[in-house]
Structure 1
Amino acid sequence: MVLPIRQFRPDITNFGGRVRPFRTSVLAAAALAALSVFAPGAAAAPGSGSSLPGSGPVVHPDNGALDCPDLLIVAVSGATDSSADRNPVEEETRRLWSNWVGNVTVPAGEANSGDPGSVGWMYVPYPSTYGLGLLRDVPTYQDSVAAGVASTNRILDEQKTRCGDRTRFVLVGYSVGGEVVERVTRELGHRPADAHVSPDDIAGVVLIGDPYRPAGVDSLGAPGPSGGGFMSSEPADYGALADRVQHACRPYDIACDAPEDIAILELALGVLGQMRFTLANPLQTITDAERVISTMAARAAAHIVSDDDWWQSDESLLDVLRAVADKTRPVPDEDLGPDRLREILDWAVGPGMTGGPGTPVVLEKLRAEGAGFVEDNSGVVELVLKPYIFLAFIQHIAYWNNNPHDPWYWESEKIVDWISALARAERDGAPAGK
């Protein structure tokens, strides 16, 4: 099991429906855009090393990533805090409106500097955008997440090839990066033991402000908020990695502590997450909207007609639309040619809308849709009645601190201590995940 988080100082971070399928997080263009795009950062990562002009990247002196350390932190930062061409070992200057995971990686290296070769870290290069651009085209949110997943797996594969069993990994993901690491972890946890990168290669996973946090799970070893991820609060299946996953979540951080049953917002963001918004080319947004709507309609139709029992099932049309908004989710390859469409229409409404064999079933389904819609969106009221509007932004950016004189025990400090404990276990030769 995962080593416990040590509780050294007062912890001020843990006061205090229906199961949904795993679908893509589309914080792309609404609430969480405010949370990360405008989040304050710092001028540079703490303790950054130096490099003479032309001498290569700025690598922190305590970063053992290039020398196959016992423990390699693979960190995926939040929105706007990375790029597709980022150097994974360079401590870059941070923009003022971005959050960054340097408050975990650098202090973890410094805390283990007495054991050279113990800890190293790499930052995952990926676009980290919400599809929002000013004068240039940028990837959509969903494309950005997909690129982050591919880049994370590429780093794991490359470092496993280079270092073999000498190095194990800790995955760290924040906000958008939390979704990236969430997806990587769920897939990697079900790999066979003889895979190139297997579950045994992962010492631990920490997800910070994760939009897929299961409702009510612990936050760094203490009781967590009762809500769950903004896009899904279902129990997560991490396979062999289940006992090595930690979550960090603050109350009212809407990314990881959102009300249940906010389906219409999920759907809206699912659509927006497939679109690009560029001031220099507004027609592109219109074209994207047309493409997304037509594609989702075709995918929804294929989903429905491939299931003979769909009209009698509890799955609503809203459920279907939320599911197919994740363009990485496969749908049946259903033949929807003219003959098949005519067959469906004749069954549902009959020739000339006079009624068909399935008309009573269709009408009952539509009546149930109305009641189900209210139930699926009952949590929207909580967004207004509870202090999400006032606290969501603050709580989403308040995980980070590297001030040794601060009396409070911040999440980033807890994570550093947890990683240091994992590093000690690696040095002492503890069994995988123990």
Structure 2
Amino acid sequence: MKKVVTVIAVVIVLLVIGGGAVQYFNSRQTGTSTDNALDPAAPDNPEGEDATTPEQPDWCPAYEFISAPGTWESAKDDNPLSPTANPRSFMLSITNPLQQAYTPDHVKVWTLPYTAQFKNINAQHEMSYDESRQEGTSTLEGELNYMHSECPNTQFILSGFSQGAVIVGDIADRIGGGNGPIPAENVAGVAVIADGRRMPGVGINPGNPVDGIGAEVALLPVNSLIQAVVPGATMRGERANGFGSLADRTYQICAPDDSVCDAPRDIGNGIDRAAALIAANGVHAMYASNPNVIPGTTANAWVVDWARGIIDAA
């Protein structure tokens, strides 16, 4: 009986990873959009630029804020500079205020355009988690590579929610480990919200303490069971570098009892695990209003203030 309940718990947590956005859409009363498309080509660099010590072209922004939306909050063909694919995306509650506060020539706000799907037993037609995550990773790295090659002095601020947090966290981990698409010194800060690979003590927690671990870490021991019910959703465990040299500027925001980032460690206790997952099923959708994540504010408001603090201090 416990084995059956454990398998059910595995299915629930996977659906939470993919399904939190749907609850967020239903619970949110106001919103705006979130997805992306191709970034218009920037002007050519001025003639005579020194190839060995490139100068910053006039069109380059001082900062680029990169936003990675969660599952079902983005689309591959959306406009990254003015996303409209999902007007209720959580990340829009962060990027819209930043776009209103700064001109594009000072802060470029870019939203990751990717399929953002999660194939499961109830959505067999969708792209798998692995494929969606890889598509998003490749597209985001392409933007970093392009902007850094054209604008070597531009500083990057990276943020993501849920599946987007996993993508941003993976890239930040490689950058901090010296194997990323841009140098670590070009990253001013990282903030990931509801990261499925979160580990306690890795990065900085600006909010209330959470004792659990990310779902991809908790479910690694039963990865073979997951493949039977959610094909193409590989649980990869914790990251290799602990964010490396970026650990002192990477913030892990996680709501207590959110099954995606605060999953119980004991996968073997099927009954308790299932009860905890069911009780936490709505927490993942409430980051814009949950007062129990960061005392005195909400997760999205905190990220906006944090990003503005970095930009305004320069």
Same fold at TM > 0.5: yes
Aligned position for 1:181: 168
Conserved 8 A contact 1:209-1:256: yes
- Separation of aligned partners in 2, 1:189 and 1:216: 16
**Which moved further from structure 2: 99-108 or 200-209?**
99-108
- Separation of aligned partners in 2, 1:385 and 1:152: 36
Q: CA deviation at 1:260?
A: 0.5
- For the aligned residue pairs, the C-alpha RMSD in angstroms reads 3.4
Letter in 2 for 1:392: N
- Separation of aligned partners in 1, 2:211 and 2:68: 25
Which of the numbers 115, 119, 140 marks the counterpart of 2:107? 119
Aligned position for 1:390: 279
- Separation of aligned partners in 1, 2:121 and 2:297: 37
Count of residues in Structure 1 that have an aligned counterpart in Structure 2: 257
Which of the numbers 22, 26, 29 marks the counterpart of 1:37? 22
| 210 and 129 in structure 1: CA distance in 2 versus 1, 3 angstrom threshold | same
Query: Deviations along 1:371-407, whole A, 9 cap, x unmatched?
Result: xxxxxx13x3332454x413332x2122226xxxxx9
| 135 and 144 in structure 1: CA distance in 2 versus 1, 3 angstrom threshold | closer
- Separation of aligned partners in 1, 2:123 and 2:200: 39
Aligned position for 2:212: 227
Conserved 8 A contact 2:18-2:117: no
1:253 counterpart = 2:238? no
Q: CA deviation at 1:29?
A: 5.1
Conserved 8 A contact 2:63-2:107: yes
Letter in 2 for 1:82: S
Aligned position for 1:399: 287
- Separation of aligned partners in 2, 1:162 and 1:77: 25
Letter in 1 for 2:175: L
- Separation of aligned partners in 1, 2:122 and 2:196: 26
Q: CA deviation at 1:254?
A: 0.5
Q: CA deviation at 1:27?
A: 8.6
1:100 counterpart = 2:90? yes
- Separation of aligned partners in 2, 1:87 and 1:223: 35
- Separation of aligned partners in 2, 1:196 and 1:137: 32
Unaligned runs of 5+ in 2: 1-10, 41-57, 219-237, 290-294
Conserved 8 A contact 1:217-1:225: no
Query: Deviations along 1:39-67, whole A, 9 cap, x unmatched?
Result: 31566528x9xxxxxxx99xxxxxxxx94
- Separation of aligned partners in 1, 2:281 and 2:181: 40
Aligned position for 1:74: 66
Letter in 1 for 2:285: I
Query: Deviations along 1:267-291, whole A, 9 cap, x unmatched?
Result: xxxxxxxxxxxxxxxxxxxxxxxxx
Q: Percent identity?
A: 24
Letter in 2 for 1:255: V
Question: Computing the radius of gyration over CA atoms, which structure comes out larger, 1 or 2?
Answer: 1
- Separation of aligned partners in 2, 1:206 and 1:247: 6
- Separation of aligned partners in 2, 1:89 and 1:44: 17
Conserved 8 A contact 2:19-2:71: no
Unaligned runs of 5+ in 1: 1-25, 49-55, 58-65, 263-376, 402-406, 428-434
- Separation of aligned partners in 1, 2:181 and 2:16: 38
| 133 and 231 in structure 1: CA distance in 2 versus 1, 3 angstrom threshold | closer
Structural mapping, 1:338-377, within 5 Å: 377=268
| 219 and 413 in structure 1: CA distance in 2 versus 1, 3 angstrom threshold | farther
| 196 and 101 in structure 1: CA distance in 2 versus 1, 3 angstrom threshold | closer
Conserved 8 A contact 2:141-2:181: no
Conserved 8 A contact 1:80-1:128: yes
Query: Deviations along 1:55-83, whole A, 9 cap, x unmatched?
Result: x99xxxxxxxx943222111110011111
Taking structure 1 as the reference length, what is the TM-score of the superposition? 0.53
SS of corresponding position for 2:115: coil
Aligned position for 1:355: none
Query: Deviations along 1:67-119, whole A, 9 cap, x unmatched?
Result: 43222111110011111222211131525xx6330111121233x43x77432
Conserved 8 A contact 1:175-1:210: yes
- Separation of aligned partners in 2, 1:179 and 1:101: 14
Letter in 1 for 2:138: A
Which of the numbers 164, 174, 190 marks the counterpart of 1:205? 190
Aligned position for 2:233: none
Taking structure 2 as the reference length, what is the TM-score of the superposition? 0.71
Conserved 8 A contact 1:215-1:257: no
Query: Deviations along 1:125-161, whole A, 9 cap, x unmatched?
Result: 1110002599994421101101111011001011112
